[in-house]
């Protein structure tokens, strides 16, 4: 493979990894606080893609034409509505089952996932939906001696990288340096003791679900701008890949979620470029199996310690 094609695959993998990292944050945060996997998280991402399409259509109907204004208003609308979904999922599928065996809320989350897929399919139809391109053009960088020896990053891909990094930085600050973050860490370490110290653990857990849903909504918004099409089933495959990224980086670790997402995106992009695009999904799942076999705690995760 030529050098400029290899560089292009690295760019594509980095962009894809940022998306996986944003979605993986939701898995890591929920697992870090309550020790459970929210398997409806991928479908929250799917719902955010549809809300993006609806928001952009409504803004176009009312004559909002400035690209920056359209994108900002649409993003805020998507984040707000998707946050409500995250809050409802926690209240309906998790809070009533919090004292149950861990398998019970897992089955409940799978039920919510199937419900969201069926709900969107009935409400929006089974056919793929799409939006008109919002940003066109790309930055081109020469890489070689020939005229066609270059790699590029589109304006939308640049936006994805910048927004993803900004979101991760804001989330890291929120968890590491605010009272909400301290309450989240206290709830993660010992929920009962956190309650005795005056922390409303129910509110903290709901907030974690909301933050995870917002991260997924940002990813859904950016992916919709990049690819322009979506359907009711996109949440399953992307959700499993984001879960793979979370496990790869270390489930429960926010830096691990970003690292795992970027690594998985790069591996998948290089696999598609060098071998075949037909088996890239199988390759991602193979990575998950390998990680679980050889390093279950992930790259930045810590082995679970059983409390006695």
Q: What does the pLDDT read at residue 296?
A: 81
Q: What does the pLDDT read at residue 151?
A: 82
Q: What does the pLDDT read at residue 188?
A: 85
Q: Per-residue pLDDT tens for 20-33?
A: 999 999 899 888 88
* 135: number of Cβ within 10 Å: 15
Within the chain, which residues score under 70 in pLDDT?
A: 1-2, 144-147, 302-308
Residues in the chain: 308
pTM of the model: 0.91
Tokens standing for 2?
Answer: 């030529």
Q: What CA–CA distance (Å, rounded) separates 174 from 167?
A: 10
> What residues does each domain of the chain span?
21-233+249-254
């Amino acid at each position: 493979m030529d050098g400029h094609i290899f560089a292009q695959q690295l760019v594509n993998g980095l962009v894809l990894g940022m998306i996986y990292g944003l979605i993986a944050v939701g898995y890591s945060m929920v697992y870090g606080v309550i020790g459970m996997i929210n398997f409806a998280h991928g479908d929250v991402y799917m719902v955010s893609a549809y809300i993006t399409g609806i928001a952009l259509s409504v803004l176009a109907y009312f004559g909002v034409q400035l690209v920056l204004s359209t994108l900002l208003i649409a993003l805020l609308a998507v984040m707000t509505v998707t946050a409500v979904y995250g809050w409802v999922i926690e209240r309906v599928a998790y809070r009533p089952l919090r004292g149950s065996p861990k398998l019970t809320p897992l089955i409940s989350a799978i039920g919510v996932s199937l419900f969201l897929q069926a709900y969107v399919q009935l409400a929006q139809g089974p056919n793929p939906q799409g939006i008109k391109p919002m940003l066109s053009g790309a930055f081109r960088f020469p890489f070689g001696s020939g005229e066609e020896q270059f790699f590029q990053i589109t304006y939308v891909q640049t936006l994805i990288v910048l927004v993803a990094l900004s979101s991760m930085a804001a989330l890291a600050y929120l968890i590491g340096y605010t009272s909400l973050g301290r309450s989240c860490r206290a709830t993660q370490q010992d929920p009962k003791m956190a309650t005795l110290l005056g922390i409303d653990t129910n509110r903290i857990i709901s907030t974690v679900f909301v933050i995870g849903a917002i991260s997924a909504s940002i990813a859904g918004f950016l992916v919709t701008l990049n690819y322009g099409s979506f359907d009711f089933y996109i949440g399953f495959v992307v959700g499993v890949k984001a879960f793979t990224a979370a496990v790869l980086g270390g489930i429960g670790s926010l830096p691990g979620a970003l690292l795992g997402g970027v690594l998985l995106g790069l591996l998948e992009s290089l696999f598609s470029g060098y071998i075949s695009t037909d088996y890239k999904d199988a390759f991602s799942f193979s990575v998950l199996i390998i990680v679980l076999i050889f390093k279950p705690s992930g790259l930045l995760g810590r082995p679970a310690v059983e409390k006695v």
